[in-house]
């Protein structure tokens, strides 16, 4: 390209296409200040907490950020990858990125990277790096199967904020939610089938536990609730299971308001009393295992269930960087890059 430019012309990068996998985020460490910085950014997002700022600011800064970092830091300690000194979410998302880059290696004009909505690597830093590398077109891929304003929308918002400060913006596409995508349903269904088959017991019930949200958000038009139920229904139909064999619950509620029900923890506590004493559980709203799956479900959830009289409990991992999971991400990315490649 530079051969056709005047000798004194600044260097021009060969045009490239960027693919950015977007995930929620993670603290950089488990100490008080690292977790506090992360929680402050996360809980200051008005997509996540829609309480008026004048009311929420003192609650967040004077109460929550005084006590919650210690509790969350302890929880992160339980699942922290000591070898890499990173959270599992960052480790897995990096692995997904490297695996996808290897799948797309035949296209030397594609740059693949990942960014976090909260924490590091920040969305802005990754987009600026891609622009500097010559990416004139960028595909944003929020790794959330089900759409919500609290996840997909805010991940895209952060990217758009960075784009708004660029003089020369790249062309941008955003990948849609894939909660009913045939490849996703097949991959998720296979992971459930294989996960159950690998157990040393037959579950009385399989639970699909999705991250919760305030009911008020549903009433305001967020489609997340319906998409969660549709994912489980499609997976059940793919597996050919009876309705009584799999159910939907919602986890991770926060604060005093009413959240989507049934609650995962309440359900796990009640099931043994109803004769359901062997369960397998998974979290289809997450593309990578993280604190909400490894600590809240696999550890706390098991403790709740067993103390209530349960006999067998198993957690089935997220798709993570499994071959099937990467197959699914690759298929989605190739589809969304149609016309650009």
**Which residues, in sequence order, are bridge partners of residue 20?**
113, 140
Residue with tokens 């929020």: 142
Residue 338 has pLDDT above 60, yes or no: yes
pTM of the entire predicted model:
0.94
The pLDDT of residue 255: 85
pLDDT in tens, 117-175: 999 999 999 999 999 999 999 999 999 999 999 999 999 999 999 999 999 999 999 99
pLDDT in tens, 7-32: 776 666 789 999 999 999 999 999 99
The pLDDT of residue 192: 98
**What are the tokens at 86?**
């990173």
pLDDT in tens, 284-333: 999 999 999 999 999 999 999 999 999 999 999 999 999 999 999 999 99
Residue 56 has pLDDT above 60, yes or no: yes
State the Cα–Cα distance between residues 169 and 68, nearest whole angstrom. Answer: 39
The pLDDT of residue 131: 95
Residue 6 has pLDDT above 90, yes or no: no
Quote the percentage of the chain above a pLDDT of 90.
94
The pLDDT of residue 12: 67
Instruction: For residues 229-256, give the mean pLDDT.
Output: 96
Residue with tokens 């709203």: 285
- Classify burial at 220, counting beta carbons within 10 Å of its beta carbon; exposed 0-12, middle 13-18, buried 19 or more: exposed
Cβ neighbors of 238 (< 8 A, separation 6 or more) are 185, 186, 189
pLDDT category of residue 3 using cuts at 50, 70 and 90: low
Max Cα-Cα span within the chain: 80
The pLDDT of residue 151: 98
Mean pLDDT, the chain, whole residue set: 96
**What are the tokens at 71?**
């509790």
Instruction: For residues 65-91, give the mean pLDDT.
Output: 97
Instruction: For residues 211-222, give the mean pLDDT.
Output: 98
CA angle 41, 47, 50 (to 5 degrees): 100
CA angle 273, 265, 198 (to 5 degrees): 80
The answer to whether residues 43 and 60 touch, using CB atoms and an 8 Å cutoff, is: yes
Residue 91 has pLDDT above 80, yes or no: yes
Q: Where are the alpha helices (DSSP H) in the chain?
A: 32-43, 53-59, 65-79, 88-103, 123-132, 154-163, 182-197, 215-219, 224-239, 264-270, 302-307, 323-336
Q: What are phi and psi of 148, to 5 degrees?
A: -150, 150
- Classify burial at 244, counting beta carbons within 10 Å of its beta carbon; exposed 0-12, middle 13-18, buried 19 or more: exposed
Residue 1 has pLDDT above 60, yes or no: no
CA atoms within 13 A on the CB side of 233: 7
Domains of the chain: 19-177+324-336 (3.40.50.1400), 182-315 (3.40.50.1400)
pLDDT in tens, 169-194: 999 999 999 999 999 999 999 999 99
State the Cα–Cα distance between residues 273 and 215, nearest whole angstrom. Answer: 27
Q: How many CB atoms lie within 10 A of CB 75?
A: 19
The pLDDT of residue 9: 64
The answer to whether residues 183 and 145 touch, using CB atoms and an 8 Å cutoff, is: no
């Amino acid at each position: 390209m530079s051969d056709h430019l005047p000798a004194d012309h600044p260097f021009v990068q060969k045009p490239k296409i960027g693919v950015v996998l977007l995930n929620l985020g993670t603290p950089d460490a488990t100490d008080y200040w690292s977790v506090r910085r992360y929680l402050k950014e996360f809980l200051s997002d008005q997509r996540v907490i829609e309480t008026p700022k004048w009311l929420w600011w003192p609650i967040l800064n004077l109460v929550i950020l005084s006590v919650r970092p210690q509790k969350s830091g302890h929880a992160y300690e339980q699942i922290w990858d000591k070898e890499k000194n990173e959270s599992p979410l960052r480790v897995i998302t990096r692995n997904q990125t490297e695996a996808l880059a290897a799948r797309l290696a035949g296209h030397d004009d594609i740059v693949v990277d990942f960014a976090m909505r909260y924490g590091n690597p920040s969305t802005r830093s990754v987009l600026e790096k891609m622009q500097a590398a010559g990416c004139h077109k960028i595909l944003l891929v929020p790794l959330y199967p089900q759409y919500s304003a609290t996840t997909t929308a805010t991940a895209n918002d952060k990217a758009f904020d960075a784009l708004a400060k660029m003089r020369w913006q790249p062309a941008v596409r955003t990948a849609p939610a894939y909660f009913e995508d045939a490849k996703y349903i097949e991959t998720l269904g296979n992971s459930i089938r294989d996960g159950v088959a690998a157990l040393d017991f037959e579950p009385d019930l399989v639970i699909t536990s999705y991250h919760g949200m305030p009911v008020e958000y549903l009433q305001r038009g967020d489609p997340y609730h319906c998409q969660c139920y549709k994912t489980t229904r499609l997976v059940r139909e793919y597996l050919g299971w009876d309705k009584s064999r799999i159910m939907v619950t919602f986890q991770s509620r926060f604060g005093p308001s009413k959240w989507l029900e049934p609650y995962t923890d309440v359900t796990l506590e009640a099931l043994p009393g109803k004769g359901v004493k062997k369960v397998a559980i998974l979290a289809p709203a997450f593309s990578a295992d993280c604190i909400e799956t490894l600590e809240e479900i696999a550890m706390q959830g098991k403790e709740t269930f067993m103390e209530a009289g349960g006999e067998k409990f198993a957690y089935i991992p997220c798709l993570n960087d499994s071959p099937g999971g990467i197959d699914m991400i690759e298929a989605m990315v190739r589809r969304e890059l149609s016309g650009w490649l």
